[in-house]
């Protein structure tokens, strides 16, 4: 606000220093508002951290309310190299004997050898149909849902050009060139396995060299692999599949057939206690992080005589109290377990939670249904005492973070205070500009007056000196 000035030159007074000191006194209210604004902003940041911690905790609690969490299973194979298995939450515990008689395969045919991939094929037309082969009658049955692929070949097209045109057409057959000791061959392969995904090729002109008909032994193209379905036995039941991945045979379980087997491969599906324990540990970690944040923000350190940002803040203290109460409160959701401590989630002296692996795994192994109720049960009436602990905490998190929640409204209130503080600072700043102009004008006038009086004093002194000289 200070401007460049020559005040003080006429009088010899240190006017700029005087004005600076006077304005520092005038600025005291602004400095106080700036300090208050910094404190408000620090609180807003602290509540932002709390919102983030509550959100993470709410999500961890919500995970414990889902059926997928408590339905987690793990599938193991006695010979994963031959048959591997992947389970989902809908898989049921059980044991399955799998024997693989044959694997699904894709049809593949190869042309006669050309000098190179740049050899010209000759003009003509090629048609590729997808369907199933029956070497008796009717021979080839095209699939009505897949359109035949027509490939026109020009007189200048090379073997590589034919390959590229087939692939560019985007059909159910892929083309490649394989070079062996005899030369370059066009190889056509079904893009998917299964007996119904075989194909027939008819051609004219130069493209006649790519004709393939399984019922015609004189076809120019040679079959190198037959389109076939996988054949397996699951607990003695015959299963046929167009792919080697059986995803709809056993509920929630995908069997990947990798090799033909001579003996059965045992597949076991069991509840996945490790995955469930991980979900509970994630919940405990999120709770402890939130509890630690609250403790840090609300504590007072006697040793350093410093207070946390939210020490004494009624909203933060209320959140801390309610959270501890909900975690420690008994639940009527389960008829076997009434508290978290009974399943190994134990409250510590410092307010954090700790998981007893032995106790939790024992509860999961012996009574999973009741553990699930303790965490995830939803009351069918208005009696919230029968809600699971995770359900209560998830609901609490939603409330706290909601539009009218305690954290949302507290943070909004602080933001409003910060806005008012800024408005007050702006008003004071405008007022200080006027005050400095007034003070500077007053001292400029004083400087001018003092300079005038000094000049008059000098003149009178000179006159007296001259008068005394004239008398001598």
- Pick from 271, 292, 325: which residue ends a domain? 271
Co-location of 210 and 168 in the same domain: yes
Residue 241 lies in a domain: yes
- For 69-82, how does the pLDDT look when each residue is reduced to its tens digit (9 = 90+)? 998 889 999 999 99
Q: Mapped to the 3 state alphabet, what secondary structure does 214-270 carry?
A: CCCCCCCCEEEECCECEEEEECCEEEEECCCEEEEEECCEEEEECCCCCCCEEEEEE
Among 305-309, 343-347, 424-428, 448-452, the range with the most confident prediction by mean pLDDT is: 343-347
- Average the pLDDT over 257-283 and give the result: 95
pLDDT at 4: 43
Residues 222 and 116 in one domain: yes
At 1 the pLDDT is 42
- The confidence score (pLDDT) of residue 13 equals 66
Q: 453 in a domain, yes or no?
A: no
Q: At a CB cut-off of 8 Å and minimum separation 6, what does 456 contact?
A: none
286 part of a folded domain: no
Give the pLDDT mean for 442-459: 75
Residues 202 and 155 in one domain: yes
Rounded to two decimals, the pTM is 0.68
Lowest mean pLDDT among 112-116, 296-300, 441-445: 441-445
> Is the domain of 181 the same as that of 83?
no
Asked if 94 and 239 sit in the same domain, the reply is: yes
pLDDT digits (tens, 9 = 90+) for 346-358: 999 888 999 999 9
185, 144: one domain: yes
- Residue where a domain terminates, one of 271, 301, 326: 271
Q: Is residue 92 domain-shared with residue 204, that is, in the same domain?
A: no
- The reported pLDDT for the residue numbered 383 is 65
The answer to whether position 150 is within a domain reads yes
- pLDDT tens digits, 185-227: 999 999 999 999 999 999 999 999 999 998 888 899 999 999 9
Query: Is residue 436 assigned to a domain?
Result: no
How much is the pLDDT for 79? 96
Residue 258 in this model has a pLDDT that exceeds 90: yes
- CA geometry: angle at 342 spanning 375 and 328, to 5°? 65
Q: How confident is the model at residue 137 (pLDDT cuts 50, 70, 90)?
A: low
Domain boundary among 240, 271, 302: 271
Query: What's the number of domains the chain is made of?
Result: 2
126 and 158 within one domain: yes
- Report yes or no: 15 and 436 within 8 Å, Cβ to Cβ: no
Q: Is the pLDDT of residue 253 over 70?
A: yes
Q: Which of 41-50, 134-143, 235-244 has the highest mean pLDDT?
A: 235-244
Least confident of 146-150, 334-338, 378-382: 378-382
**Quick one: 236 and 262 in the same domain?**
yes
What confidence tier does 57 reach under pLDDT thresholds 50, 70, 90?
A: very high
Three-class DSSP category at 364:
helix
Domain that holds residue 116: 108-228
Residues 94 and 132 in one domain: no
Give domain status of residue 206, yes or no.
yes
Does a structural domain hold residue 308? no
- Answer yes or no: are the C-beta atoms of 295 and 349 closer than 8 Å: no
Three-class HEC string of 306-355 = EECCCCCCHHHHHHHHHHHHHHHCCCCCCCCCCCHHHHCEEECCCCCEEE
Same domain (yes/no): 166, 236: no
| Pair of tokens at residue 284 | 């405990």
Q: Could you tell me if 81 and 168 lie in one domain?
A: no
In a domain, 302, yes or no: no
Decide: helix, strand or coil at residue 107: coil
């Amino acid at each position: 606000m200070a401007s460049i000035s020559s005040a003080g030159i006429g009088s010899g007074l240190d006017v700029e220093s005087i004005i600076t000191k006077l304005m520092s006194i005038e600025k005291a209210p602004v400095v106080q508002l700036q300090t208050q604004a910094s404190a408000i902003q620090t609180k807003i940041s602290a509540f932002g951290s709390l919102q983030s911690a509550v959100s993470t905790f709410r999500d961890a609690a919500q995970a414990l309310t889902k059926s997928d969490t408590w339905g987690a299973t793990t599938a193991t194979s006695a010979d994963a190299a031959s048959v591997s298995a992947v389970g989902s939450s809908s898989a049921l515990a059980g044991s399955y004997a799998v024997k693989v008689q044959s694997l699904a395969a894709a049809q593949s045919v190869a042309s006669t050898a050309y000098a190179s991939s740049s050899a010209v094929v000759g003009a003509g037309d090629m048609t590729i149909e997808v369907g199933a082969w029956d070497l008796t009658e009717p021979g080839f049955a095209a699939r009505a849902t897949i359109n035949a692929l027509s490939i026109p070949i020009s007189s200048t097209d090379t073997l590589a050009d034919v390959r590229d045109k087939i692939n560019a057409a985007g059909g159910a057959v892929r083309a490649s060139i394989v070079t062996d000791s005899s030369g370059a061959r066009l190889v056509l392969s079904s893009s998917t396995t299964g007996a119904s995904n075989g194909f027939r090729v008819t051609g004219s002109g130069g493209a006649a060299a790519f004709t393939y008909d399984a019922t015609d032994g004189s076809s120019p193209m040679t079959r190198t692999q037959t389109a076939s379905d996988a054949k397996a036995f699951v607990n003695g039941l015959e299963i046929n599949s167009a792919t080697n991945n059986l995803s709809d045979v056993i509920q929630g379980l995908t069997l990947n057939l990798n090799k033909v087997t001579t003996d059965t491969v045992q597949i076991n599906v069991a509840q996945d206690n490790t995955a469930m324990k991980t979900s509970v540990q994630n919940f405990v970690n999120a709770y402890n992080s939130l509890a630690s944040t609250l403790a840090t923000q609300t504590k007072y350190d006697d040793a350093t005589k410093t207070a946390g940002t939210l020490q004494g803040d009624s909203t933060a203290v209320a959140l801390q109290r309610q959270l501890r109460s909900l975690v420690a409160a008994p639940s009527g959701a389960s008829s076997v377990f009434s508290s978290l401590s009974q399943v190994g989630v134990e409250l510590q002296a410092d307010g954090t939670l700790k998981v007893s692996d032995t106790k939790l795994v024992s509860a999961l192994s012996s009574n999973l249904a009741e553990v699930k109720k303790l965490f995830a049960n939803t009351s069918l009436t208005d009696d919230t005492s029968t809600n699971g602990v995770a359900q209560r905490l998830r609901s609490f998190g939603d409330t706290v973070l909601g539009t009218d929640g305690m954290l949302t409204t507290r943070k909004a209130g602080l933001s409003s205070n910060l806005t008012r503080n800024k408005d007050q600072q702006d008003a004071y700043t405008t007022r200080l500009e006027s005050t400095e102009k007034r003070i500077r004008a007053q001292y400029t006038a004083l400087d001018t007056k003092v300079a005038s009086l000094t000049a008059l004093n000098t003149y009178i002194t000179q006159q007296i000196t001259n008068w005394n000289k004239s008398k001598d």
